[in-house]
Amino acid sequence: MKAFLILEDGHVFTGRSIGSTREAVSEIVFNTSMTGYLEVLTDPSYAGQAVVMTYPLIGNYGICYEDMESERPWVDGFIVRELSRMPSNFRCEDTIQNFLEKNDIPGICGIDTRALTKILRESGTMNGMITTNENYDMDEVMKKLKAYSTGDEVSKVTCREKSVLPGAGYKVALLDLGAKRNIARSLNERGCEVTIYPSFTTAEEIIASNPDGIMLSNGPGDPKACAQVIKEIRKLYETDIPIFAICLGHQLMALATGADTFKLKYGHRGGNHPVKDMETGRVYISSQNHGYAVNPESLDPKVAVPAFTNVNDGTNEGLKYVGKNIFTVQYHPEACPGPQDSSYLFDRFLKMMEEKKNA
C-alpha cells in the first residue's frame, strides 16, 4: 500500500506503508545509528516523535525482544529507505513489519531518506504526517501539522508503580522519566539494589527511603514541560545524596538550579557523537538522543560548571555541580544502541556513593 510523508514545509515523499496504516502527526527527527533500531523504537525518549533512520537498510537482524529498552515501542512513526524483507539472525524472533503492526505504529519505507535528512538538517526539525490516504487535503494536513507540538510526554511513558530490582550493594533510587531499561540494568550489574519510582513521586518519598544515591533518567519532550518534576528535583538537589542524571534528567537538574535549556536545530541522535571530557581533554564516542541542550551561558559558575562538550558543535554535554556530589550527562552512558565508551560513568557514580558512605 502507498504511504505519504508530508512535511510542514510542503515537501511530500511517496513510499510504501509499513506497520499500521493509520495516520500519524509527529515531530520528524533523524537518527544516524547503523544498528540498534529496536532500541531506538522502544526508547521512551522518542514519544511524540517519528524517527527517520539515515542508514539505508534497516531490519536485517529482525526483532530480538530481549533488546527492548522498555515494554513497547514509543515512536509515533518509523521512516526508512529499505526495510529488510528477510531478517536473518540466530536471535531473531519477529520482523519490524509485524512488530509495528502489532503495536499500531505506522511507518513508511522506500523513500529517499538522504534527501529527507538534508531537509531536516538544513531547515531544522519540523512536524510531519505519515498517511496512507491518497486523497489527503493539503490545507487540512497543514493545519494539523502547524497545530502539533509535543506536550507532557513524561507522564505518558513513566511507570505507574514503583518496583525494585534486588541487589546486595548500594541502594539507588531511579526516577523514571521514561527510563531505558539499560540504566537500571547497568546499576544492577554493579550490584546495586535499584528502586524505580514513577515520575510523579515526591522528593520527600525518595529521601525518606534513605537511598545511597539517586539516578534521574532520560525521557521525552521539552524539559520545560516538566514543571512539577523540576520542583521535586530542586528538593533532591538540596540534600547531600549523590545524584547522577542522564539526558532529560540532566536538563531538569539544570533547570531546577537556575540554568536554561534551548531547542537544538536538529538535535543529536546517533551512535557516534564525540564528547570531550573538559578535565582530561579525552574524547569519548557516545550514543545520543536529544533535541534540547543546556545553555552554558546560563550557568552560574558557583552552582555548575561544564564537564563535557560536544566536539561537533560545541554544545554542552555534561555538568559537574560545585560543592555537591552531583554530575549529569546529556548523552547515554548506558549506550543502547551505541558504543560502551562511557559506561565508566556508572562506576564513577558508585565511587561517589562509596565516598559519601565512608565520609
Ligand X SMILES: NC(=O)CC[C@H](N)C(=O)O
Select from 221, 242, 270, 337 the one that contacts ligand X (CB under 6 A): 221
Examine the residue annotation and report whether 332 is marked as an active-site residue of this protein: yes
Residues 247, 250, 268, 290: which is the catalytic one?
Answer: 247
Continuous segment of H or E residues that includes residue 117: helix 113-123
Residue 18 in 3-state DSSP?
A: strand
Q: Evaluate the omega torsion of the peptide bond into residue 166 and state whether it is cis, within 30 degrees of 0.
A: no
Reduced DSSP (H G I as helix, E B as strand, rest coil) percent helix, strand, coil of the chain, to 5: 30, 35, 40
Instruction: For the CB of residue 247, give the shortest distance to ligand X in the complex, in Å.
Output: 3
Among 220, 270, 333, 338, binds ligand X (CB under 6 A): 220
Is 247 a residue that touches ligand X (CB under 6 A)? Answer: yes
Minimum CB separation of residue 187 from ligand X in Å reads 17
- Whichever of 117 and 287 has its CB closer to ligand X, that residue is 287
> What are 308's three cell numbers?
563535557
Nearest CA-CA partner of 319 in 238, 261, 240: 261
Residues numbered 286 to 315 that lie near ligand X (CB under 6 A) are 289-292
Provide the minimum distance between the beta carbon of 303 and ligand X in the complex, in angstroms, as a whole number: 21
* Residue, CB closest to ligand X: 247
Are 94 and 57 in contact, with CB atoms under 8 Å apart? no
Q: Please select the residue that binds ligand X; options are 106, 213, 219, 318, rule is CB under 6 A.
A: 219
Catalytic (active site) residue 101: no
Q: Is 228 annotated as a binding residue?
A: no
Q: Residue 4's CB: how many other CB atoms inside 10 A?
A: 21
Residue nearer to ligand X on the CB measure, 10 or 314: 314
Residue 291 assigned to a binding site: yes
> Judged by CB under 6 A, does residue 270 bind ligand X?
no
Cell numbers at 205, concatenated: 518519598
**Helix pair angle (344-358, 181-189), 10° resolution:** 60
Amino acid of residue 104? D
**Of 157, 182, 173, whose CA–CA distance to 333 is shortest?**
182
- 219 labeled part of a ligand binding site: yes
* Cα dihedral sign, 347-324-43-66: positive
Interaction between residue 248 and ligand X (CB under 6 A): yes
* Binding flag, residue 158, ligand X (CB under 6 A): no
Nearer to ligand X, 109 or 256 (CB): 256
Residue 197 assigned ligand-binding role: no
Q: Which is nearer to ligand X, 18 or 196 (CB)?
A: 196
Nearer to ligand X, 111 or 299 (CB): 299
Does 33 sit near ligand X (CB under 6 A)? no
- Residue 276 interacts with ligand X (CB under 6 A): yes or no: no
- Which among 250, 268, 273, 332 is annotated as catalytic? 332
* Residues between 35 and 54 with contacts to ligand X, criterion CB under 6 A: 45
Per this entry, what is the length of the chain? 359
Other Cβ atoms closer than 10 A to 290:
24
* Residue 138 DSSP class: H
Told to judge if 39 belongs to the known catalytic residues of this protein, a careful annotator would answer no
- What's phi and psi for 254, nearest 5 deg? -65, -45
Chain centroid to Cα 335, Å, comes to: 11
If the CB atoms of residues 69 and 193 are measured against ligand X, the closer one turns out to be 69
What is the DSSP secondary structure assignment for residue 85, as one 8-state letter?
A: S
Sign of CA dihedral 211, 215, 217, 223: positive
Say whether residue 218 binds ligand X (CB under 6 A).
yes
Determine whether 103 is exposed, middle or buried from the number of CB atoms within 10 Å of its CB (0-12, 13-18, 19+): middle
Choose one: 157-165, 216-224, 229-237, 315-323; the region binding ligand X (CB under 6 A): 216-224
Considering the complex, state which of residue 15 and residue 73 has its C-beta at the smaller distance from ligand X. Answer: 73
Residue with the three cell numbers 551505541:
338
Binding of ligand X at residue 24 (CB under 6 A)? no
Catalytic residue numbers, as ranges: 247, 332, 334
Known binding positions for L-glutamine: 45, 219, 221, 248, 251, 289, 291-292
Question: Which residue ranges are tagged as binding site?
Answer: 45, 219, 221, 248, 251, 289, 291-292
Residues near ligand X, by CB under 6 A:
45, 218-221, 247-248, 289-292
